[in-house]
Amino acid sequence: MDFDVGKVDLNCEKNNTAHKTNDISVNRLIVRRGQSFLVTFELHDLSRPTTDLLELMVETGPQPSEALGTRSVFGLPEGCGKGSSWKVKVHQGSVLLAGSITLDITSPADAPVGEYSLSVKTSATASVGSSLGKLLLLFNPWCKEDWVHLPEEEERQEYVMREQGLVYKGSDKYISSMAWNFGQFEDDIVDICLKLLDVNPKCLSDPAKDFSARCNPIYVSRVVSAMINANDDRGVLMGRWDGRYDGGMSPTHWNGSVEVLRRWLKNGSNPVKYGQCWVFAAVMCTVLRCLGIPCRVVSNFQSAHDTDKNLIIDDFFSDYGVRPKQSPDSVWNYHVWVEAWMRRPDLSAGSLYDGWQVVDPTPQEKSTDVYCCGPAPVKAILQGHVDLKYDVPFVFAEVNADRVTWMVFADGSKKKISTDSVSVGQNISTKAVGSDKRVDITANYKHAEGTEKERAVYNQAVKRVNIPEENSNGIHDGKPGVSMKIVELTKPVSGKDIDLKLILNSNDSETRTLVINVNVQAMRYTGIPSSQIQTELKELKLLPNQDLTIPIHIPFSVYGEKMRESNSIKVSAVVTDNDKSEAVYITEKDLVPESPSLTIKAIGSELQYSEMTAEVVFENPLSEGLRNCFITVTGSGLLTEAMEVRMPLLKQGQRLRVKMPFTPYRPGPKKLVAGFNCDQFRDIKASCNVYIKPVTGVVPPLRR
C-alpha cells in the first residue's frame, strides 16, 4: 500500500448538491456523468513537484476493463492515461502548502452508470493505489453530451426530480386521477435500483458485458422494463388480473413505489404480490428517475392488446348480448406505460426518432423472448414506422388498431357486424409540467381520427407488418336500419342506484318487431367480464320515424358487491329484427361509478422538521354500516412509512375524521395520499399538495 495519501474528503454535500443528488444523500458521493466533482486528500510527502505522476483509477463491476469502459486510468500531468475519457485537473482552490490537494474529476458523458471504486497512485514505483472511496454515477439530463439530455429545466424538475405524480385511470368518458408517491430519493432506493440491475438475467449470464452496457439508456430502460415484472426473471412485481389476491395485496392497495421496492429487497429479490399496469408503470418511473433517465407515466384509454400483430382487434358478441368468449385480442378501458426521454442513434443518423420513447413493464407479450416492451419511439408510432425496434407495432396497435365486431350464433357460426377505425386510443394522458392538470398527448401518437392522414398512416403500417390489405377495412359501409344509443339519466356513483335509457330509432318506413337483449356486466379494466350483474329480454314494436325508449335500472344492491374487484360496468344492447333475420344491431356503454368522497388536508406550518397534522375525512354514504374500515396515509419526504388507523364499524351516515401527526423531512413540493378501505368499498383514494419550506442549520430529528 502507498502511504503518501492521508485523510480523504469526497466533499459529498458540496458535490451532491451541485449534481442534484443531495436529496438522495449527503453522506456518500453520488454524481452525474459528464459533470465534474471535487475530491480532496492529504499528501504526506510534498517534497516532489505536483507535476510528478499522480495516477487515478476508477473501476466498476466484475472484471473491469478499459476495453469495456468499466475501468479507466487517468491522472496528472493533465491528459496522463492515454486514451482515457475520464479527466482530472488540480482544482483552482487547491492549497498545496496546507498539505492537501483538491482534484477536479470529470467522468465521460457515456460512462456506465453504477457504483465505482476510486483510487490514486502518487508515485511511479507504487504497485497498488490508495483507495479514495466509492462513488455512484448516474445519468445526467443536465449534460448536453449525455443521451438523456433534456433541454428545459422545468421539464427536468418534473421528469427527474419530482417525487410525486398522478396516474390517470377509469375510461375515456370517466377519467380520474390517482396520486402516486414515486419516492426516488428515499433512503436505500438508489441501492435497490442498482440491485435490480445486478440480478437481471443478462447480468447473471455475462456480468462484465452487462456492466459495460449500462452506459446506454436504451439498454438500461429495456432491462428495467423486463425487471419490473417477474414473468421470466427475479423481477419486482407479480401481475394478477383475476381478482384473487391471496398471499399478497390487491394492486389497488398501493399508493407509491417505495413500499413495493423495499418489500422486493426484503423478500430476497422475490416478487411482490400483486401488480397491474399502473403499478408496474409507476414503479418503473421511480427506478428510471432515480437512475437519472427523464420519464413520465402515460395512460392510454381504449387501449388495444393485439396478440396476432395484424393491427386489428376482434370483438365477439353472442346474440343474447354477452361476450361469449375471451378473444385473444382485447381492448382495455385504459392501459398505463412509461415514456422515457433519450436519443436513438441506433435507429437514425440524425435526430429523427429522438425524444420520448414508450417503455412498458406490464407483461403482455414477449419481446425477443423476454416480457418487456420498448423503448419504442413515439415519433415512429406517429408515422406508422412499425418496422423499427423495439416493439413499435405493438404500441402502434395499442393506440390505433381497428376494431372488428363479430356476432357469434348458437351453432358457432359468426357474422361480421361492423368495423370501427376510430375508438381505439383515446385521450392519451399525462400529468402537466409543474401542475396537477391533465395534458392530452394523443396527437403525439397519431393524427386526428377521421382524417386522410391518419388512414394513410394506418394503411402504411398494415403494409409494413405484411398483412393482406383485405384485412384492413376502414369504415363499415351502409346506414343501419335501426339506430340506437344508451344515455345516462343519473351520474353513476358507487353506493347509489344507476339509471339509464336505451333509445332506438327506425330509419325504415315500416313497423319493425325487435327482440332486445339488455345485458349488464361487471368488467375488469382489461376489457374482460368479471361477473354477470343483470340481463333483460324484451320484444317490442318500433314504429317508423319514432323513438322507442327503454329504461335501464341497475340497483346498487345488485351491482355493489360485484364491483369490488372490477373497474367498470358494461351495459350492452343487442337487437335482432324479427322481420329481417339478418339484421343485428349492437350498442354498448362503459360506466365507471365515482367513489364516495374522501378528503385529506395538511395542517401546520409546512416547514421542514416541524410537526404537522394530516386530517382525513370520510362519510358513510350507505343505508347500512361499513365494516372493517381502515385509513392509510403515505407521502414521500413527509413520513418514512405509512400510517394507519382502523375502525371496526362506521354507522349509516356517520362521519369519520382522523388526525395523524407527521414531521416533513425533505423540502419542496410534496403530496399526502390517503386510502380508505372497508368490506363494501375497496381502495378509495384522495390526496393533497404540500409545499415544504427548507430549514438550514437545524439538526434533523429522527424521522417518523
Binding-site residues for Ca(2+), please? 400, 402, 449, 454
Within 13 Å, how many C-alpha atoms sit on residue 287's CB side? 31
Q: How far apart are alpha carbons 299 and 482 in whole angstroms? A: 35
CB 21 within 8 A of CB 138: yes
Quick check: bond before 480 cis, omega within 30?
no
Instruction: Find out whether 56 and 105 touch, Cβ atoms under 8 Å.
Output: yes
Which triple of cell numbers denotes residue 65?
476493463
Start-end of H helices in 384-525: 392-400, 442-445, 452-464
DSSP reduced 3-state for 421? coil
Give the burial class of 244: count Cβ atoms within 10 A of its Cβ; 0-12 exposed, 13-18 middle, 19 or more buried.
exposed
Query: Which residues line the annotated binding site?
Result: 400, 402, 449, 454
360 a catalytic residue: yes
Helices 217-228 and 277-291 cross at an angle (nearest 10°) of: 140
- Give me the residue label for grid cell 417477474: 230
Beta carbons of 16 and 3 less than 8 angstroms apart: no
Q: Can you list the alpha helix ranges (DSSP code H) found in 429-561? A: 442-445, 452-464, 556-559
| Residue 335 falls in the annotated catalytic set | yes
Among candidate residues 12, 203, 215, 277, the one labeled active-site is 277
From the list 23, 146, 360, 420, the catalytic residue is 360
Identify the active-site residue in 19, 335, 385, 447. 335
Give the separation between CA 140 and CA 110, rounded to whole angstroms. 10
CA separation, residue 248 to residues 238, 268, 275, 287, 561 (Å): 10, 16, 10, 22, 21
Q: Distance (Å, rounded) from C-alpha 281 to C-alpha 274?
A: 13
Cis amide leading into 219 (omega within 30): no
Residues annotated as catalytic (active site), given as ranges: 277, 335, 360
